[in-house]
Chains A and B, each alone.
Chain A
Amino acid sequence: MTKVGVSILSANYMKLGDELERIEQSNPDYLHIDIMDGHFVPNITFGPEMVHQMNQTTSLPLDVHLMIEFPEKYIKAFAEAGAKIISVHYEACSKRITEIIDLIHSCGVKAGIVINPDTPAERIKPYIHKVELILQMTVYPGFGGQKFNASTLGNIQQPAHWKDEFNLSYDIEVDGGINEETAPLCVDAGVNILVAGSFFIDSTNKKVLTHTLQHL
């Protein structure tokens, strides 16, 4: 079965409490939270305090994606805020990534590595045995509502293949332009977690949408 993470990036921030309730009622597997600092990506979202407030109100596990320059500074804060998984960008911390993964684990949280569309999957091969999650961005991160980049499918096949080759059990997740057309392509390539953002938020039947994606 495929897992689904709903992203709040495009949610109605004025009624976030209601949005979280609606999201939870459609039974996804995760709440996907994008943290941006305006430096690593050209947008900024929010910090640990708001993640903590969301954690107080939802029972969905929090899948926190750090698109920030110095993720190590904030691992503990997001762990304490309630993150179940913390993912960091290879591009932001390639020289320090082993220490950062260890830090995430020391906080009792699962660790993920994220790669942008133009980062070859080979770059993260040295770390695949250490992480619980590999997140392939299928758009350049920063904004919701972007179009899926099909060239990333080739990249996804590599960690999918390494999973079998080395008998590993990490999840493979995608985020960016995931909808009814692009989701099956990703699942065929080996993805088992789909992040749905605008596709979910704009949908008039969220329960059905989640169910359909989970049964791809």
Chain B
Amino acid sequence: MIHIAASLMCGDSLHIGDELVQLEEAGCDLLHMDVMDGIYVNNLALGPEWISAVKEATSIPLDIHLACINPKKYVDMYAGIQPKYITFHVEVTKDVPGLIDYIRSLGIKPSIAINPETEIEKILPYLEDIDMVLVMTVNPGFAGQSFNTEVINKIASLKKAMKGLEKPPLIEVDGNIKEETISLMEQTQPDVYVLGTSALFHDRNGDSYSHRIDNIRQHIASLKDRAAQ
């Protein structure tokens, strides 16, 4: 199944209520929320009050990505909102299994993020315990960056490592995801596609989110058909 996650940080922050209505109509599966602490990444974003207001306003499940040091502190800040997923970075977590268990104990699905330069070996020991892996295809911090093509091999290796797992985690990709970069992943398609400025929120010119998301879904489906042949 193809999951589409809209990166809400790239939306129109002055009219988020309207954006959510349109994303619901467009059949968006998840809302991807980037939380940035200004220290792990060079940007600041999306506080708990803001995300809580989003939760109240929509039925689309929330996928919170903590681009923060001391992730447990931020898990505590956001757990009360009860998102569907909380993702933390393996690069800055001392006790990865502990944090996985902690997130799950709060009724939330744990997910781990890896940056482009992080080897997948760092997360292989945890694949059976998590619900999702977020493979960053750019270095986190800002919208509008270029897709890192070396990540494609990583996704292939991850899929290989997950063969034989009873409940393999979903593979999510975030960073300049659009038709052209999705085509690059033809042979090893992920499960969850985070759409930001490149695919969804750039100049609308009257184009709807429904139309843009449908196009992406069709594109992915046609690549899957081709890869299966």
Contacts and interface: CB of A to CB of B under 8 A. Distances in A.
Interface of A: 9, 12-17, 20, 35-39, 42-50, 53-54, 57, 68-70, 73-74
A44 B17 contact: no
B43 A44 contact: no
> How many B residues are at the interface, by size bracket?
20 to 34
Contacts of B35: 44
A46 B38 contact: no
A14 B39 contact: no
> Chain A's interface: helix, strand, loop or mixed, by majority?
mixed
Nearest to B142: A49
B38 A74 contact: yes
Contact of B45 (A17, A46, A54): A46
A46 B45 CA distance: 4
Contacts of A57: 14
24 contacts: A12-B53, A13-B49, A14-B16, A14-B54, A16-B14, A16-B15, A20-B14, A39-B69, A42-B73, A43-B48, A43-B77, A44-B44, A44-B47, A44-B74, A45-B47, A46-B50, A47-B36, A47-B44, A54-B14, A57-B14, A68-B38, A68-B44, A70-B38, A74-B38
B68 interface: yes
Nearest to A44: B47
Given A42-B77, A70-B39, A73-B38, A36 B47 contact: yes
A37 B14 contact: no
Q: Which of the listed residues A14, A15, A49, A73 has the most CB atoms from chain B within 10 Å of its own CB?
A: A14
B229 interface: no
